[in-house]
Structures are given as structure tokens and as C-alpha cells.
């Protein structure tokens, strides 16, 4: 078996894939399996609609079946295809949103989510319902910005900080960044909000390492 953790970005945004790789760089260490970050060939520009979310399921299944790894992270914060992927491999398949929620609940009673687009909220709510923790969500606010804006080093910074402050005002004691590739904003958003800010791909990386320990 290939000694790696395969991180699959199910969209075709190069800047998003680069941002995911950046977020996982701190996890590299001697003795740990490397994180290999790839994009899904033919994936949509972003997982923005339900159609996008469903469309990547079968291509992800084929990729997981063909690409050997110790574990798989599906690097989208709507956790597409996690359930079906767990039927095609015996290896751990990790969802960033599930991981981020677990991390938030380890630090706070109630949390908020900075969602990518309005449609993301319904998909993330289904995950929360399946986890039995929907009542712990204080609020979810969608940015409705293009993927390339979110992954820019500065373009979305003010919107992210203001949204995090609004989530705190709504009762959030921790905030989840609801789109992959935004790790470069985490520290600034945390400083602005004054509460822990969870980057989902990093939370998923920690879960993957724990699963393999």
C-alpha cells in the first residue's frame, strides 16, 4: 500500500488546491505519512450547487478505487460522497466538515459556520443532523463570493473577519471556515473574532493521523 494520505479536492480550482496544500504543510514531519494533495480530474469549478455535490460522487469512487493510500480526505467542506466512498475502500475516508465540527465541539458549546454559498448551508445542515449536533449550531452565514476570491491572500479577508464577528454576536463560541483553501486567513479571522477558528482541512488532517496512529 502506498504510504501516503491522499487529499482530493473535488473541484478543479488550482488556487483552492494550492490553498489546501498550504493548510496541510504544518503537518509534515519525519515518520508521518505525507499528505498528497490532488484535484479531481474533470471536477466542477466549485462545489456550489447540489448538482455539483452529487456529480463528483462516482468520479471520486473511481479515483479512490484506483489510487492506493493509507487514508483519504475529501477536501470540500460539504463532505461530498463520504458515505458512498466508505463502501469502496476499507481505509479511512475523512470529511473536513465532520472533522471541523468535532474540533469546534471540543472547544465550545456552540459554533458558527462561514459558509461558501447559500446552498452550502443545507448540505452542511444534513451533516449536522446525521451527527446529532444541529442544535449546537449558533448560526451560519454565507459569503457568496467566487472561489478565486476566497482563496486570494487578501481579497476576502475583510468579509471573512466581519462575518466571523457576526457569528460571535449570534452566540458562536468557535467559528468554522466553511470552504477549503482558506487556511491563509485563519489567524487573521481568529484575531478579529476573538474565538477559536477551525480550518476544516487541518481538522481532517489531524483526524487522519489519529485514525492511522
pLDDT of residue 1: 61
Average pLDDT, the chain: 93
pLDDT at 94 over 80: yes
| Least confident stretch, 23-32, 82-91, 131-140 | 23-32
Strand partners, 35: 5
Distance between CA atoms of residues 95 and 83, nearest Å = 10
pLDDT, one tens digit per residue, over 15-29 is 889 989 988 999 988
Model pLDDT for residues 196-210, shown as the tens digit of each residue: 999 999 999 999 999
3-state secondary structure string across 143-211: CCCCHHHHCCCCCCHHHHHHHHHHHHHCCCCCEEEECCCCHHHHHHHHHHHCCCEECHHHHHHHHHHHH
Query: Is pLDDT at 13 greater than 70 in this prediction?
Result: yes
Confirm if 193 and 168 have CB atoms less than 8 A apart: yes
- Give me 200's grid cell: 476544516
Tens digit of pLDDT for each residue in 29-53? Answer: 888 999 999 999 999 998 989 999 9
Quote the pLDDT of residue 105: 96
Parallel/antiparallel/unpaired status of strands 111-115 and 93-94: unpaired
pLDDT for res 146 = 83
Q: Which three cell numbers stand for residue 26?
A: 504544518
What does the DSSP 8-state code read for residue 183? Answer: G
**Closest CA relative to residue 26, chosen from 187, 212, 165:** 187
Locate cell 489519529: which residue? Answer: 210
Q: What is the DSSP letter of 37?
A: E
What is the C-alpha separation between 34 and 17, in angstroms, rounded? Answer: 16
Amino acid at each position: 500500500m502506498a504510504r501516503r494520505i491522499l487529499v482530493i479536492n473535488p473541484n478543479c480550482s488550482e488556487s483552492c488546491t494550492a490553498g489546501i496544500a498550504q493548510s496541510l504543510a504544518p503537518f509534515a514531519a519525519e515518520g508521518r505519512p505525507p499528505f498528497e494533495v490532488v484535484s479531481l480530474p474533470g471536477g466542477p469549478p466549485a462545489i456550489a450547487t447540489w448538482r455539483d455535490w452529487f456529480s463528483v460522487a462516482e468520479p471520486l469512487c473511481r479515483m479512490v478505487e484506483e489510487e492506493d493510500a493509507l487514508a483519504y480526505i475529501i477536501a470540500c467542506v460539504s463532505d461530498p460522497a463520504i458515505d458512498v466512498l466508505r463502501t469502496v475502500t476499507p481505509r479511512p475516508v475523512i470529511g473536513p466538515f465532520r472533522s471541523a465540527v468535532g474540533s469546534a465541539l471540543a472547544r465550545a458549546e456552540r459554533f458558527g459556520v462561514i459558509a461558501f454559498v447559500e446552498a452550502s448551508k443545507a448540505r452542511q445542515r444534513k451533516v449536522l443532523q446525521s451527527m446529532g449536533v444541529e442544535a449546537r449550531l449558533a448560526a451560519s452565514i454565507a459569503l457568496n463570493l467566487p472561489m478565486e476570491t476566497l482563496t486570494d491572500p487578501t481579497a476576502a479577508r475583510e468579509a471573512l473577519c466581519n462575518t466571523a464577528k457576526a457569528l460571535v454576536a449570534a452566540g458562536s463560541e468557535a467559528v468554522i471556515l466553511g470552504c477549503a483553501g482558506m487556511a491563509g486567513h485563519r489567524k487573521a479571522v481568529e484575531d478579529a473574532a476573538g474565538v477559536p477558528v477551525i480550518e476544516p482541512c487541518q481538522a481532517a488532517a489531524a483526524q487522519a493521523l489519529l485514525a492511522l496512529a
